[in-house]
């Protein structure tokens, strides 16, 4: 029951604009509270998180609450970056407003909103760590199936008009662009890129030895495995083709990097070192995916997509983002070391916005710079702790030998996190609740308590019948008195 509630919670998150609206986000937060209560009240086992990851999560949850603590007005005026707001209060605020205690955050209501939005990803991370190995495999399969449906919808949306009922009322990003149920093409691309390495991990995982069922004919099991691999490969091709037609440069680049890393990691990993066929399979899958996706994209019509990769388009996008980055750094320095407050970028940035970056800009298009501006010195500490925990865990999984099967799923999930880590350098996909929840779920799989030691011992006892030594037939000797001299 817990598994299916969690699966529905996770898969419904992207349905309505990736949960990035007040009502769906409120529903996700309420469901997350229920999952957290189940995690802490029903399952009373210790969390067992790595220290670095636990420290990063603790800082991320506690520091925004510190930013909401009211301070005396005299102390509040001395905070870095608050002088301009104090001047506005002196000029326009009523006299009875003097002496009111104010929070560190420039916009406390936005910080409260942002802190509550952290609950769904937190619930996903903890819930994924509570699942059994079989449930994790099933959940990843469901995520792949949902991503395949998103890719199919995105491909159906591709057309010369760029409009139609298939956009579900969402803003269309332009001609020949797929957005699925998202509002922004880059956010769909980030989700699709996350799933590609997971598919490679599932394909390699499906080749694990010693898991035949005794009560079912071997031919049925073999045909079932082949059908599952074909469907996974077809879903991967469709997802990669849709990724191309999102026209997201960051999404496509990070997805291809993750695929290449998957081809290398699954060959190098000790958990996949049973036979040469299994190690070569990942390389074949990655190469086949790229080649087939390119051929299909060429058949559909990749011309408009290539226009977005021209030098002029790339230069224009780079100049636009560079202007935002420079202004964000200036704002971060002014509010250093306490930050402006979680989720206050949209309200604070207009003070520092330059003419080159025109229009209303509500995100920095770089999650790390935005976190540095909003959280101050705590942001690089959180990011550093998380990246260190992630890298150490991936090396630990690469060297793991005990859990030969489940470790492959963990490696696939870890490689699935890589596109989002890279994409966050150029966009704000992690600010979408659905993407954050999927990313946290993959993190929960990577940092799962069963790194594989238990499953490894269990699988080592599942020896195939054909691998058993041939029984030795005993030969009875005649009695001594009957022997000839």
Between the CA of residue 218 and those of 90, 195, 212, 409, 468, what are the distances in Å?
81, 30, 8, 24, 18
Q: How far is residue 380's CA from residue 372's CA, in Å, rounded to a whole number?
A: 7
Sites in the chain below the pLDDT cut of 50: 210-214, 218, 220, 276, 403, 452-475, 482-485
> For residue 28, how many other CB atoms are within 10 A of its CB?
25
Q: Would 99 be classed as within a structural domain?
A: no
Number of domains in the chain: 1
Residue 227, pLDDT score: 77
Measure CA of the first residue to CA of the last residue in the chain; give whole Å: 78
HSE at residue 337, side-chain half, CA atoms within 13 A, is 4
Q: Would 42 be classed as within a structural domain?
A: yes
Q: Would 348 be classed as within a structural domain?
A: no
Q: Would 466 be classed as within a structural domain?
A: no
Q: Which domain holds residue 135?
A: 2-63+113-211+218-312+363-460
Query: What is the pTM (predicted TM-score) of this model?
Result: 0.85
According to DSSP H, which parts of 301-338 are helical?
303-307, 311-335
Angle subtended at Cα 126 by Cα 342 and Cα 66, rounded to the nearest 5 degrees: 25
Residue 28, pLDDT score: 94
Q: Would 250 be classed as within a structural domain?
A: yes
Q: Convert 211-242 to b/e letters by CB count within 10 Å (16 or more is b).
A: eeeeeeeeeeeeeeeeeebeebbebbbbbbbb
Q: How far is residue 375's CA from residue 447's CA, in Å, rounded to a whole number?
A: 25
Q: How far is residue 373's CA from residue 414's CA, in Å, rounded to a whole number?
A: 28
Q: Would 105 be classed as within a structural domain?
A: no
The set of residues, in sequence order, having a beta carbon less than 8 Å from that of 27 and lying 6+ positions away, is none
Q: Which residue has the tokens 């925004």?
A: 64
Q: Is the bond preceding residue 337 a cis peptide, omega within 30 degrees?
A: yes
Beta bridge partners of 71: 102
Residue 283, pLDDT score: 61
Structure tokens at 144: 């792949």
Residue 384, pLDDT score: 96
Residue 475, pLDDT score: 44
Q: Would 106 be classed as within a structural domain?
A: no
Q: How far is residue 384's CA from residue 317's CA, in Å, rounded to a whole number?
A: 28
Residue 97, pLDDT score: 61
Between the CA of residue 303 and those of 73, 160, 248, 297, 318, what are the distances in Å?
59, 12, 14, 9, 22
Angle subtended at Cα 198 by Cα 156 and Cα 202, rounded to the nearest 5 degrees: 110
Q: How far is residue 164's CA from residue 151's CA, in Å, rounded to a whole number?
A: 17
Q: Would 93 be classed as within a structural domain?
A: no
Using an 8 Å Cβ cutoff, are 178 and 157 in contact?
A: yes
């Amino acid at each position: 029951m817990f598994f299916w509630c969690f699966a529905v919670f996770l898969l419904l998150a992207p349905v309505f604009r990736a949960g990035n609206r007040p009502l769906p986000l409120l529903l996700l937060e309420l469901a997350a509270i229920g999952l957290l209560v189940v995690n802490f009240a029903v399952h009373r086992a210790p969390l067992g998180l790595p220290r670095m990851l636990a420290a990063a999560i603790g800082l991320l949850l506690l520091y925004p609450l510190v930013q909401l603590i009211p301070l005396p007005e005299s102390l509040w005026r001395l905070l870095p970056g608050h002088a301009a707001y104090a001047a506005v209060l002196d000029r326009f605020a009523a006299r009875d407003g003097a002496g009111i205690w104010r929070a560190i955050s420039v916009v406390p209501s936005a910080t409260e909103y942002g802190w509550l939005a952290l609950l769904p990803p937190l619930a996903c991370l903890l819930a994924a760590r509570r699942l059994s190995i079989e449930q994790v495999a099933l959940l990843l399969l469901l995520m792949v199936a949902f991503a395949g449906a998103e890719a199919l919808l995105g491909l159906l949306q591709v057309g010369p008009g760029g409009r139609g009922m298939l956009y579900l009322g969402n803003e269309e990003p332009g001609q020949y662009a797929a957005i699925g149920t998202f509002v922004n093409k880059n956010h769909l691309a980030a989700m699709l890129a996350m799933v590609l390495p997971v598919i490679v991990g599932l394909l390699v995982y499906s080749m694990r030895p010693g898991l035949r069922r005794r009560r079912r004919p071997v031919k049925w099991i073999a045909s079932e495995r082949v059908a599952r691999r074909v469907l996974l490969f077809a879903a991967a091709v469709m997802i990669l083709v849709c990724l191309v037609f999102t026209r997201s440069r960051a999404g496509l680049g990070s997805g291809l990097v993750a695929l290449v890393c998957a081809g290398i990691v699954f060959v190098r990993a000790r958990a996949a070192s049973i036979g040469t066929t299994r190690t070569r399979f990942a390389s074949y899958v990655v190469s086949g995916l790229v080649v087939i996706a390119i051929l299909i994209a060429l058949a559909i019509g990749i011309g408009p997509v290539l226009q977005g990769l021209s030098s002029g388009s790339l230069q224009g996008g780079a100049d636009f983002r560079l202007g935002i980055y420079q202004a964000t750094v200036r704002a971060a320095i002014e509010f250093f070391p306490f930050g402006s407050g979680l989720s206050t970028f949209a309200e604070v940035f207009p003070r520092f916005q330059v003419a080159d970056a025109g229009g209303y800009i509500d995100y920095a298009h770089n999650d790390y710079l935005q976190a540095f501006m909003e959280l101050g010195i705590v942001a690089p500490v959180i990011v550093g702790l998380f990246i260190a925990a992630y890298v150490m865990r991936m090396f630990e999984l690469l060297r793991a030998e005990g859990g030969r099967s489940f470790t492959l799923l963990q490696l696939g999930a870890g490689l699935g996190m890589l596109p989002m880590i890279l994409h966050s350098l150029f966009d704000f996909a992690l600010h979408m609740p659905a993407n954050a929840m999927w990313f946290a779920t993959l993190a929960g799989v990577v940092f799962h308590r069963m790194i594989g030691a238990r499953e490894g011992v269990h699988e080592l006892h599942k020896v195939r019948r054909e691998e058993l030594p041939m029984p030795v037939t005993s030969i009875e000797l005649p009695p001594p008195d009957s022997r000839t001299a």
